[in-house]
Amino acid sequence: MKRFVKWTILILCIIVLMTVIGLIIAPNFIDINKYKPTIEDKVAKAIGRPFSIDGNLKLRLFPVAKVSFSDLHIGNPKGFKEKDFVSLKSFDVQIKLLPLLLSRDLQVKRFVMKEPKVLLIKAKNGNVNWQFEKLTTSSSKEIELKEKDVELKRSTKVSTELPLKKLSVDEFAITDAAILWIDQATGKKTGITGINLRLKNVSFTKPVGFELTAKLEGNPIKIIGQIGPLGKTPGKGIVAVNINLMAFKELNLSLKGKVKDISSQNPSYEFALNLRPFSLRKVLSKLSEVPLRLSDPNALQKISLSAHIKGTAKEVSIKQGIFVLDQSKMNFWLSAKEFKKPNIAFDINIDKINIDRYIPVTYKTKTKPKKKVVITKKSKTPAPKTAKKAVSIDYTPLKKLEMDGKITVGTLIAKKIRLQNIYAKIMAKDGLLQIKPMSMDMYKGKMLLNAMVNVKDKIPVTKLAMNINHVLIGQLIKDMIKEELLTGNFDMKLVLNMKGDTPEQIISSLNGNGDLLIKDGAIIGIDLSGMIQNIKAAFGLAKARKLKKKTIFSVIKSKFVIKNGIFQTKETQLISPNLKVSSIGNANLKKQTLNFRINPEYIKNPEKSISVPVIVSGTFSSPRFAPDLKGIAKETIFKKLFKKKTKEGEKENSIEEMGKELLKGIFGR
């Protein structure tokens, strides 16, 4: 038995020795470069585009397994002028073989890639060079087998342990890499160049340090940090992460935290994110040749962000969020789960913000006049333009969405309008999106809004109810357009229903009603009483007078309805100390046409005064105003013919005298 064991060990030693000798000697007798054309041909067929290794291939197996080559090229498909899609100057990897074979200890002496370059191109016709053709089409049987194989893999537990016990890397470097982008349609060229990546202390038992440097449009970027230790069983347990990003000599972002059980089906993570204050304006100026022009040149000078992020593969939450934008500060938290829907909850609190500061400033450029096309007898007439088909909107994401959040804003300035104490509750579920309620203080008054959008069906349905109380309308208009047009205490109730998602559909289906009331105000720039007096003067019935700068009123009130896009009112009145003006008519919102009759009446001495109704017609952009003389005549004739008889004993007027009285009544004398 002893002799058997002795000879067995001796034979095994001889086999190992011969194997080692073979590994040492074999590469010296085999010229691997002879097989390079075969390798290039096989790879080219597999990827469907040119592949070549212009430099020499080197192979060594013992005591260190070494593979190196230079000048690798993967070409572009047909139709692209640029030769290479991917190129690599040199590649060198060296691995100690015996520790790997005997004890599953991976010891990498060297892993170096020099000047790898990726060129991404989008052609003028829209084709891109990073899409690879599908070389083979799978049969139905192959597809069934693949699906069964996937199901089998899902049902069986696969071990996530690495087939290694130890790991160490002496040198890991990627130097002078580049990722470039070319858009041939616009001629735009951009990319990241000078990419250098180095790893330090690569092992399972120590934190792995790394340093990445690059240049984006010539601006430096640097990422440094540590990850680990990974542990004896990488993918299990807690792994510490500490990363710091510095870019453009302006931006500094840190991410510190941990990842747990990253190889499991539900890994978790927890990070503290801190973006130190920086000037976004300076960063954008370095990235774009066109300077950023906002209405406020001092906007975007200070931005910072901090938050605590925690989550798993199934949910994520952001707490203790603080976002600073110049002089504005936002505290927030957010959570999301069931990502296929998704299900979102949030609470956002903003102390103050002026949106007008961030509106881009546009400059009008001179455009060349279009050349007139002269159509001769021989030339063909241009084909009539066909109406564009309406693009249908897919509301499936909104039907799935579940949301429950609220937003509060201390002070908001938008379009020069100042709003305060804004509160909005926003909800979504089963295709119903609701703002219920939204409330705010505005110009010594309040506004309350409830809105709902139903997207359960193909055509969305929108309902809106708004209530405005005691708003100083004059200050509101002045802030909006910097002009004084109307003053007074403004109240309004409005209910609207509409269908569709295009302006045409919405206007045609618009239905609702409302009440409007303005008390103790004035119409600035219009003297209604003086205008009526001057209309009389035009007929020689009174003396013309100089118009005042405003019309003071005690009440403007209106009740209106909207039916299928047509605004109608029968109860609109303006009451001033001397004058009462009523209006009836309609406005077609779809056709943008007007049809109103404005009827003024004097409160003092109405019998001695003449009232000249005004017809308002035309369009929203070009309204027309004209006195309703026909209406005056009809009304006066009606009064004269049906007026009550005088006292008994008085003679009835002759037809001639009645005619004189009719004319006198029409023209006031």
DSSP letters along 417-442, please? Answer: EEEEEEEEEEEEETTEEEEEEEEEEE
pLDDT in tens, 163-195: 667 778 888 999 999 999 999 888 888 899 999
Give percent of the chain with pLDDT exceeding 90. 45
Alpha carbon distance 192, 190 (integer Å): 7
User: Dihedral (C-alpha) 408, 413, 415, 418: value to the nearest 10 degrees?
Assistant: 100
Mean of the pLDDT values across residues 350-362?
Answer: 91
The mean-pLDDT minimum among 53-67, 237-251, 356-370, 475-489 falls in: 356-370
Per-residue model confidence (pLDDT) at position 134: 58
- Does residue 280 surpass a pLDDT of 50? yes
Q: Calculate the average pLDDT of the chain.
A: 81
pLDDT bracket for residue 630 (50, 70, 90):
low
pLDDT of residue 613: 82
User: How many Cβ atoms sit within 10 Å of the Cβ of residue 169?
Assistant: 18
- Structure tokens that stand for 565 in this block: 């896009």
Please report, to the nearest 10 degrees, the dihedral formed by the alpha carbons of residues 73, 77, 82, 88 taken in order: -20
Average pLDDT over residues 546-554: 72
Residue-level pLDDT at 625 = 76
Structure confidence by residue, pLDDT tens digits, 199-247? 998 888 889 999 999 998 889 999 999 998 888 777 788 999 999 999 9
- Measured between alpha carbons, how far is residue 233 from residues 101, 207, 263, 313 in Å? 19, 14, 10, 21
pLDDT computed for residue 4 by the predictor: 46
pLDDT value for 532: 58
Count other Cβ atoms within 10 Å, centred on residue 71. 14
d(CA 60, CA 73): 23
What is the average per-residue pLDDT within 79-93?
Answer: 90
- Report residue 477 as tokens: 């208009």
* Domain residue ranges in the chain: 30-131+163-201, 464-667
**Cα→Cα distances 647→191, 375, 453, 642, 652, Å:** 102, 81, 68, 15, 10
Instruction: Give tens-digit pLDDT for 481-517.
Output: 888 888 999 999 999 999 998 889 999 999 999 999 9
Q: How confident is the model at residue 635 (pLDDT cuts 50, 70, 90)?
A: low
CA 660, 665, 666, 669 torsion-angle sign: positive
Task: Give pTM, 2 decimals.
Answer: 0.75
